[in-house]
Amino acid sequence: MPPQALVEIQNVNFAYGNRPILKGVNLSLPKGKVIAVMGGSGCGKTTLLRLIGGALRPSSGQVKVDGQVIHELDHNKLYLMRRKMGMLFQFGALFTDMSVYDNVAFQMREHTDLPEEIIRDLVLMKLHAVGLHGTHHLMPAELSGGMARRVALARAVALDPMLIMYDEPFAGLDPISLTVVGNLIRRLNDALGATSIVVTHDVQESLKIVDYIYFIADGVIVAEGAPDEIRSSSKPFVHQFVHGEMDGPVPFHYPGGNYQQDLGLRT
């Protein structure tokens, strides 16, 4: 029996004005799994996260989380639903004028009535889980890029969310930090019994840690499958993306007129 889906995207369309971004997208995030969403820049990956979090409303279709249609919830119910979600923003997005400790404690203070001594223990536990309990007194400006991303991860899981969303968690990281963050995504998901959706361009690192992958191109799902299926895929778009090839369905040159004529040369 397949695991129950925590997130269901059903025939979702979305456009910014007259510019369509998602066109009839269907995907499912089973409970307890790590799912990657990949595709080129501007294909709608981050838009998908915003729809799941209720920051955007689909033009048509349904976005369901834990059995509830997100865009049909009123303000209070949406607020309660978001308490069950964790978000790792691109490049971490730590509060620069708060210490590491206060960044991680922020959600606990905002959303719970826990006494400060309990919050202190929880903050140190979350930082220890990402290998950084000794940094609690530092400011974000004193952290390396990899350390800042791990603090942001500790903040994202501060309330033990049922759903964790990652927006380009590997962007700008050195190879060691990239591997560390990737392993933490997998370990924390399994330890919390959560469900994770990872929006990323980093194919090779993602294939090591995820259970399933969706590829988006031109606003639609063009391929999906387990890591081994994606690695061996013969679909031109997937093959080009996985192997980083210049030539393929995604062209190198932006559409334009005749280059020689534009230069005033005779053909």
Per residue in 5-44, pLDDT (tens digit) is 899 999 999 988 888 889 889 999 999 999 999 877 777 7
The structure tokens 């387990």 sit at 226
How far is Cα 44 from Cα 51, in angstroms, rounded to an integer? 10
Q: What pLDDT does residue 196 have?
A: 94
Topology of domain 1-84+165-173+200-244, per CATH?
A: Rossmann fold (3.40.50)
Predicted TM-score (pTM) of this structure: 0.83
Q: What pLDDT does residue 234 have?
A: 74
Higher-pLDDT residue of 139, 223: 139
Per residue in 151-191, pLDDT (tens digit) is 988 898 888 899 999 988 887 778 888 888 888 889 889 98
Number of H helices, E strands in the chain: 10, 10
Give the residue among 158, 157, 156, 198 at the shortest CA–CA distance from 178.
198
Per residue in 89-100, pLDDT (tens digit) is 876 688 889 999
How far is Cα 10 from Cα 61, in angstroms, rounded to an integer? 6
Q: What pLDDT does residue 252 have?
A: 52
Confidence of residue 244 (pLDDT cuts 50, 70, 90): low
H or E segment to which residue 8 belongs: strand 5-16
Confidence of residue 68 (pLDDT cuts 50, 70, 90): very high
Q: What pLDDT does residue 93 have?
A: 81
Ranges of each domain in the chain: 1-84+165-173+200-244
Do the Cβ atoms of 40 and 199 come closer than 8 Å?
A: no
SS3 17: coil
